[in-house]
Chain A
Amino acid sequence: MFYVFVFIWAFAIVAGITMVWLLAWAIRQGEFKNLRAGARSIFDENEPEGKVTDYFPGEAPLMRQLEVRR
């Protein structure tokens, strides 16, 4: 039982220190600077901000155009 407790406490301390270290690492890396740009990092030239990227099948604006051409 004693060794189990030693293991659990050691595990918890290592995990806790790792989380604190990760937070410090993220701050040093500048992860929390310029958050406005961070929020926009999922957009790109092909799927830019302001563009809707999902529609029901056959109901996207382009498809309506193509249907008309056919």
Chain B
Amino acid sequence: MSAAVETNPQVEVVSRIEVDRSAEGAVTIYWASALFWLTIATIAGLISSAKLHSPDFLGNIEWLTFGRIRPVHWDTAIYGFGGTAASGTLLWLQARLCQTRIPFPALLIAGGVIFNVGILLGSIGVLMGQSTGVETLELPLYAMPLLVIPYVFIVIANFKMYFTRKTSHTYVSQWYLMAVTVWFPILVLSAEACTNLGAVDGVAQAIANWWYGHNVVGLFATPTGIAAAYYLIPKVIGKPIHSYHLSLLGFWSNAIFYNWAGTHHLTGGPLPAWTITIGVVGSLMMFIPVITIGINHHMTMLGSFHHLKTSPTLRFAVMGSMIYTLSSFQGSLESLRSHQEITHFTHYTIGHVHFGMYGFFAPLMFAMMYYAMPRLTGNEWSSARLIRIHFWCTLIGMLVYAISMCYAGIRQGMMMNDPTAPFLDIVRFTVPFLWIRTLGGLILFAGTIAFLINFWRIVQPHRLRFVTPTLMTTERDYNMLLNKEKELEQNDK
């Protein structure tokens, strides 16, 4: 915080409202898109899941065959939901932390529209059988420019905000956000060059593919989630993070080690052993940032857990940060060759991916939306009950999904290592767990619908303005915002 701002609280309050107002259009379109694509991804995931225990389900429709609908599920989840949720988070959080208005709002809104068109075209292409066949980069090449161009707008806006910031200190969340804007374009361009554009062949292509597949989660989704947690947890409970030293150590160790971890996906593949060993070492070194981040998130909460009863944002943020610790420990151990002897090529990996994406990343994005949307729109969430339904469905659905898949995966792996076990018996063993997975997915879907209803209501213009202002907890805040609102409305006229 700059000295001028510190000595003038009135300027600070007005500035913050204006920051939020400037972000309303661009951030809302990204988050609304995120929820739309989350719904599509969940439906595609449910269809994929059902096909594994009931192969005849929608079996006569060629564009819904498993090989097409499953990539649509993953791509709409990681780019459609993850990309837009992270972009909205990046824009709003950076604007807040820089205490500056979001620049080029019209350009960013246009970027949001273009991005959606890109995902839509790419998904239709995959459903029509035009998948590239490269995991996580399945979208046809003609859709990629439509995803890259909006991201360029976001990178420009991000740098513009940072270099015109009114604050002197770079908060730890900003380190992560700035890093994401640099890392992600390098990742995408390098991976596309080495896979779909054919710059390299053979196993080198597989290395590039899994270097990207792992890092799109670790160097795009994860930093955005951690940035959100580092802002939301202390902000909601009104307590600075436990150790700022550790938070910076966590960022830099994450930056150094995560990039190396991807090749552990290829354990047992026809690669030089040292390439896989590097991946394993990189994965184990991730214990350093994970432990530092875990200590910070959990120790900050110590003594403040009672706020979980009253704050929706905190519920999702704490759920996300706790599962970050658990899923990261799980992921590091999973990279070991001795572990993979059992779990590689089993449902365990699927359980782990969903545990991380829907247990850590998604709840933190939900937390961000719950915290920011009332401040962006001036409206209030219409139903506390729907928020509670969303939270419990997310938590229970995720646990049902992850526990069933991880348990089934371990048993499946042990049976596959037994040469006397008939393969069909192994398949039959997993079927009940695949049903449980579909049940977990349905519970998650119910939560998504609850959130969609609430989100639809909050973006209605002025529908519930100032009816139940959760975000204003003192009368002084309330009156100040009310006066500012009147002033802005007069200016609009």
B-contacting residues of A (Cβ < 8 Å)?
1, 4, 8, 11, 15, 18-19, 23, 26, 29, 31-32, 35-63, 65
* B281 interface contact, C-beta 8 A: no
Contact A53 to B171, CB < 8 A, known contacts A1-B200, A41-B1: no
In the complex, what's the smallest C-beta–C-beta distance from B256 to chain A, in angstroms? 8
Provide the residues of chain A in CB contact with B252, threshold 8 Å: 23
Which residues of chain B in 161-175 are interfacial with respect to chain A, using CB atoms and an 8 Å cutoff? 167, 169-172
Contact B384 A57 (CB under 8 A): yes
Contact A55 B200 (CB under 8 A): no
Contact B238 A32 (CB under 8 A): no
Contact B244 A35 (CB under 8 A): yes
For the complex with contacts A35-B248, A57-B387, 14 further pairs of A-B residues with Cβ separation under 8 Å are: A31-B169, A39-B247, A41-B167, A42-B235, A42-B240, A43-B235, A45-B13, A52-B238, A54-B311, A57-B380, A57-B383, A58-B380, A62-B474, A65-B475
Provide the residues of chain B in CB contact with A43, threshold 8 Å: 235, 238, 240
Contact B470 A54 (CB under 8 A): yes
Provide the residues of chain A in CB contact with B384, threshold 8 Å: 56-59
Contact A62 B312 (CB under 8 A): no
Contact B1 A55 (CB under 8 A): no
* B463 interface contact, C-beta 8 A: no
Most chain A beta carbons < 10 A, residue from B170, B469, B473: B473
A23 CA to B248 CA, complexed, in Å? 11
Provide the residues of chain A in CB contact with B236, threshold 8 Å: 52-54
A15 CA to B183 CA, complexed, in Å? 9
Across chains A and B, which 7 residue pairs bring their CB atoms closest together, nearest first?
A45-B9, A39-B240, A39-B244, A58-B468, A56-B384, A35-B244, A54-B311
A-contacting residues of B (Cβ < 8 Å)?
1, 5, 9, 12-13, 16, 97, 167, 169-172, 182, 186, 190, 193-194, 199-200, 231, 234-241, 244-245, 247-248, 252, 255, 307, 310-314, 370-371, 380-384, 387-388, 468-475, 477-478, 480
Contact A56 B12 (CB under 8 A): no
Provide the residues of chain A in CB contact with B234, threshold 8 Å: 39, 42
Contact A41 to B470, CB < 8 A, known contacts A49-B238, A51-B238, A53-B235: no
> Could you list 19 examples of A-B contacts with CB < 8 Å?
A11-B190, A35-B244, A35-B245, A36-B240, A39-B234, A40-B240, A41-B167, A44-B16, A45-B12, A47-B16, A52-B473, A53-B238, A53-B471, A54-B471, A55-B311, A55-B473, A56-B310, A58-B384, A63-B469
Contact A37 B169 (CB under 8 A): yes
Provide the residues of chain A in CB contact with B237, threshold 8 Å: 52
A57 CA to B472 CA, complexed, in Å? 11
Contact A44 B311 (CB under 8 A): no
Provide the residues of chain A in CB contact with B172, threshold 8 Å: 38
Contact of A44 among B9, B245, B380, B470 (CB under 8 A): B9
Contact B469 A19 (CB under 8 A): no
Provide the residues of chain A in CB contact with B239, threshold 8 Å: 49-50
Provide the residues of chain B in CB contact with A49, threshold 8 Å: 238-240
Contact A56 to B312, CB < 8 A, known contacts A32-B248, A38-B244, A62-B478: yes
Contact B16 A36 (CB under 8 A): no
Provide the residues of chain B in CB contact with A4, threshold 8 Å: 193-194, 199-200
Provide the residues of chain A in CB contact with B387, threshold 8 Å: 56-57
Contact A63 B9 (CB under 8 A): no
Provide the residues of chain B in CB contact with A32, threshold 8 Å: 248
Provide the residues of chain B in CB contact with A40, threshold 8 Å: 240
